[in-house]
Structure 1
Amino acid sequence: MPLSSPPLLPTDPQHFAGRHVLVTGASRGIGWAVAKAFAAAGASLSLVGRDAASLQQRAAEITGPQNSATLQNSVRAFAADVADEAAIGKAINDAQAAQGPLDILVNNAGFGASKPFAKMDTGHWREMLNVNLDGVFFATRAAIPGLLSRPQARVITIASTAGLTGYGYVAAYCAAKHGAVGLMRALAREYAKRDITFNAVCPGYVDTEMTETSIRTIVEKTGRSREQALAELTAGNPQGRLVKPEEVAATVLWLAMPAAGAVTGQAIAVAGGEVM
């Protein structure tokens, strides 16, 4: 009889009990997978995103009657755009007022768009940096005082393989993600003597709405079929597939565990061997 596959995520419902986790971009994609994983492991959650209604719906899904009663009132939603310095600062302060100092910050909010470099205007450049780099800076800076007051604090930023290598037609996105990785590395050195780690998780193409948008763009611009567009995106992955959001979430949870306390300043690719 073949062995069954082990679970991707911790199965102990109290693994992160007493820990306050804030996830940006939490209403969908990787952010939602990360939020669900921490909730299942007992963490108190603060969900941050731009769409208040979507966040409230997600919070209700976690705390619904189908889930453990221990999750009731442990999930809060805070609407904010990470690219708005004042708004994300207020959201983090409000989250800590409601649920105590942060233990773990997951900088997940991000957005990708393509444009040939010669046709790239300042607006496109700023849009990519505002969300993917400035947002990480604003959220991390606002969270640092609370994090430094807690044992085994963590800052985990969802970057991209675009933070580790270059791709054509996404120069601004690559620049922003390289910046996010560099920020984590710099902070890991600056705070090496404190009980806090800073790491980046760098997925390849993940089975999320953002990848679906990329597929639609390829179809619209090239006339290829959806299957052909998907094959183009997965061609760079030696495993020949999209990464699952749960695989990224599992990496985030591992970095948040006490056993990963010596892992800091790292950029971990979750990309099927695309980047080594």
Structure 2
Amino acid sequence: MAKIAVTGVTGNLGGMVSRLCKENGIKVRNLARNKEKAEKIGFSDVFKSNYDKSEDTIKSLEGIEVLFMVSGSENPNRVQQHKDFIDAAKISGVSHIIYLSFYNASKNSIFTLGRDHYATEEYIKENGFKYTFLRDNFYADFFVNLCREYGEIKGPAGNGKVSAVVRSDVSEVAAKILENPEKWENQTLNMTGPEEFTMEEIVKIVSKYFGKEIKYIDETVEEAYESRKIWKAKQWEYDSWVSTYTAIAQNEQSGISNDIKKVLGRKATSLTEYLEIL
């Protein structure tokens, strides 16, 4: 059995993947920036590891063959941090990186953060690693949370469609791949839901389950930037928030993939199924 490490275990997805591996009898090394926090919430075999090429990080990857890499926290230097971490993996002798990327990531992605994911994928390939890229669409969880918290979704998404995916499906796929990483070497898998919806359609479905009317407000790009000024943020953050919707408007986030079924042997969870288990 390959020696496996999982990053970001104190975060949502990394934590889910590590727990699922444990349930499935797969031994993993848990990597976290904050070792004490990871141990406090119940993880064992924790190594301190950052997205850099420090001594700690190189040491945390020694003896590891397969690395599950969640993307780092969003920040303007994220691509460089990813590259440093990938360099550390190379120094430590990691051979296969399973990277949590983004659906339709490209150099010119409308969703600004999609460009970071593309640059990371390219760097992994350039450095000769075996790779598996899990290209997540936006999470259905995110849209449902907006409805719950604000009673509305607003943004310049027009009538574009998104095949949003449920986060727990993605963690199950990652854990399944870690059971037999060799089978998935040098593949790109698209993580989408089993259906695609406009924002209008999403709020209709969620309204039904929440028993109250939730509206979709189709803003212009200018209105979207203006309405988000209620949160103090940097320009790159405003750009990423607004481009979430402009990417949907341009149908960059549409299209349905069968890859979740290919890995799990079952269909991806639908929005309705997700709402039923909330």
Q: Same fold (TM over 0.5)?
A: yes
1:156 counterpart residue number: 98
Deviation at 1:93, TM superposition (A): 0.7
TM-score normalised to the size of structure 2?
A: 0.56
In the TM superposition, 1:39-78 aligns within 5 A as 39-58=22-41, 60=42, 62=43, 75-78=44-47
Q: Where in structure 1 are there 5+ consecutive unaligned residues?
A: 1-17, 63-74, 113-126, 192-196, 220-224
* Post-superposition offset of 1:202: 1.0
Question: 1:34 offset after TM fit, Å?
Answer: 1.3
Contact 2:99 2:133 in 1 (8 A): yes
Give every structure 1 segment of 4 or more consecutive aligned residues whose post-TM-superposition deviation is greater than 6 Å.
232-235
- Return the alpha-carbon distance in structure 2 between the equivalents of residues 47 and 39 of structure 1: 11
Is residue 2:87 matched to residue 1:141? yes
Give the alignment's Cα RMSD to 1 decimal: 3.6
> Quick one: distance in 2 between partners of 1:25 and 1:147?
20
Letter in 2 for 1:178: Y
Aligned-partner Cα distance in 2 for 1:179–1:85: 18
1:253 aligns with 2:175: yes
Match of 2:56 in 1: 90
Structure 1 pair 215–54 and aligned structure 2 pair: CA distance change class (3 A): farther
Aligned residues of 2:107 and 2:115 also touching (Cα < 8 A): no
Aligned residue for 2:153?
228
Aligned residue pair count:
195
Aligned-partner residue type, residue 172 of structure 2: A
Confirm or deny: 8 A CA contact 1:185 1:199 kept in the other structure: no
Q: 1:243 pairs with 165, 171, 184, which one?
A: 165
Decide whether aligned partners of structure 1 residues 199 and 183 sit closer, same or farther in structure 2, where only a CA change above 3 A counts.
Answer: farther
Q: Distance in 2 between matches of 1:245 and 1:111?
A: 17
TM-score w.r.t. the length of structure 1 is: 0.57
1:132-170 CA distance string (max 9 Å, x none): x3333222332235546xxxx5310111125258554x4
Please tell me whether the aligned partners of residues 184 and 199 of structure 1 are also in contact (alpha carbons under 8 angstroms). no
User: 1:176-206 CA deviation, whole Å, 9 max, x = no partner?
Assistant: 111122233434xx35xxxxx3121111122
Counterparts in 2 of 1:261-276, with a 5 A limit?
A: 261=182, 263-272=184-193, 274-275=254-255
- What does the per-residue CA deviation read over 1:222-261, in whole Å, with 9 as the maximum and x for residues that have no partner? xxx444259x6997334xxx52332112222343344x53
Q: How far apart are the structure 1 equivalents of 2:24 and 2:91?
A: 25
